Chain A
């Protein structure tokens, strides 16, 4: 990183806040729900219940939960095509997300959006997005509105290592930095854009190193450590609320499943997947931390896992029982539009 960027990274380290007591167990449960939700959605997709493709986020729970828990109630998040974890962590219920995947009327987008248009105005989730890098632009615009309206809020825009090679991502970063917008750009670097490894796609040493060139603090974080993610986002948020402008976080993470359901994954070794699962799993690491602090024993973890399974099973049952959207409404604006802006 450039000399100017290095001290800035130190600055955003200072002032980190710890999560409230007892919060970590809640985070663990959320991550368990996401993990099981993804496993179920893959199974249901293979069984033909989910039209179109889905992109599993299993393995990336730490980034989504660490980020979401660092945000306030008015903060806004925009996602990517791989966003089930972002949506669930932001507060969309497993029921409404699953129903949306099924294309049912009770889905968060009335069945019209599916996996890549999960939207929730009330919970400030601008949506998952089928266009690589595009969500960051919406978050940047939302941050502009926050600044112009003097709102004490920030916007988080996710994108991936693939998105980091689009021009648009850096056009959005440039504008956010120029106007000192309260934007937190979070790059989930999971090493692969579909089947292309970053060594085959990305010039330069790191994604965070690129951001430093725009004069904003940029750091690389272990995305599999939910607390590290939380701390980084918390500090970036404090900075933004203080009027100091945007920050860039590159979270190093990994997806256990292929790019999409049905991906044969002949571009990576099974041993690599196993290695991440065995030694860098975000759920496992948080569990070990809690166990080490005497806050969670094996029975407790088993109970939490079981609760998560129940929640997901309930979501699937809800989706299956939910009615199909009214076909007469196909051309009309989605009813929730009347509910107002995110």
Chain B
């Protein structure tokens, strides 16, 4: 999980380990990072539905209401338009609001405020930022750094080194890539796994450097492929790293469909480690 501050990063960034390690779930890490920043910066406050007592729908701010009070962990009525507009306007007024939409599905209720207002305000004044936490990761544990550790935007992370193929993921698909890399390792294939961390700005430099080594790219995305992140990255890599590629940028992504409820359908829809490994094998088979 990344926290961001403008300025000098303390971590090495690409594959560097944090100075102090602790194992927290994503949700705990988010909470801890947010609490640290809220302690040192009075201008930060959170707006969202059901965050004061409940702590949000994924416990993402559980306990912070008690700690920081109702002004700074601020419940809002159900209006994404109002909460995003309040956030943009308050940021313009010098505060540092965090607008917690809880579910990305609800973002569409504030789409004008995000796309027409916030995006243009960003162009004019350099604020704000959209941060997405994958709901399936909230309970997943990993190492986190300490209060002085910051990761800048636009810096990918090399999760696992390898020389035969580059597996690229972000959010939940990083684990999918790691699972695929482990399958491939058992077959004597060494795969490098890259976590993009930020989609914009995108760290093409790290990915290109990896492709110089491996010549084979597999991009893994839970979204449908059409016009999505994987399409963008495949196009960008074809422009930036064509000479290093021994085959096309393979994409493993969801089909063009809403997400079904039934567990078997969901598993069939989401990219799995097996599919990613198969894509890597297909590239290797080309020679």
Contacts and interface: CB of A to CB of B under 8 A. Distances in A.
Interface stretch (B27-35, B85-93, B243-251): B85-93
A42 interface: no
B77 interface: yes
A124 to B, nearest CB: 10
A213 interface: no
Q: Could you say which interface size class chain B belongs to? A: 20 to 34
A143 B85 CA distance: 11
A321 interface: no
B200 interface: no
Interface in B113-170: 113, 116-117, 120-126
B21 interface: no
B93 A175 contact: no
Contacts of B85: 134, 137-138, 140-141, 168, 172
Contact of B81 (A78, A148, A168): A168
B79 A342 contact: no
B77 A142 contact: no
Contacts of A141: 85-93
Given A167-B81, A333-B123, A134 B93 contact: no
B123 A145 contact: no
A144 B84 CA distance: 12
A243 to B, nearest CB: 14
Nearest to A167: B81
B79 to A, nearest CB: 4
Contacts of A270: none
B95 interface: yes
B112 interface: yes
Given A145-B92, A168-B112, A337 B81 contact: no
Contacts of B45: 148
Contacts of A140: 82, 85-86, 89
A342 B79 CA distance: 25
Nearest to B74: A179
B204 interface: no
B43 to A, nearest CB: 8
Pairs A-B, 4 closest by C-beta atoms? A141-B89, A145-B93, A137-B85, A171-B79
Interface of B: 45, 71, 76-77, 79, 81-95, 112-113, 116-117, 120-126
12 contacts: A126-B92, A130-B116, A134-B117, A138-B89, A139-B89, A140-B86, A141-B93, A143-B93, A145-B91, A145-B93, A337-B124, A337-B126
Given A140-B86, A148-B71, 5 more contacts: A141-B91, A143-B93, A145-B92, A175-B76, A333-B123
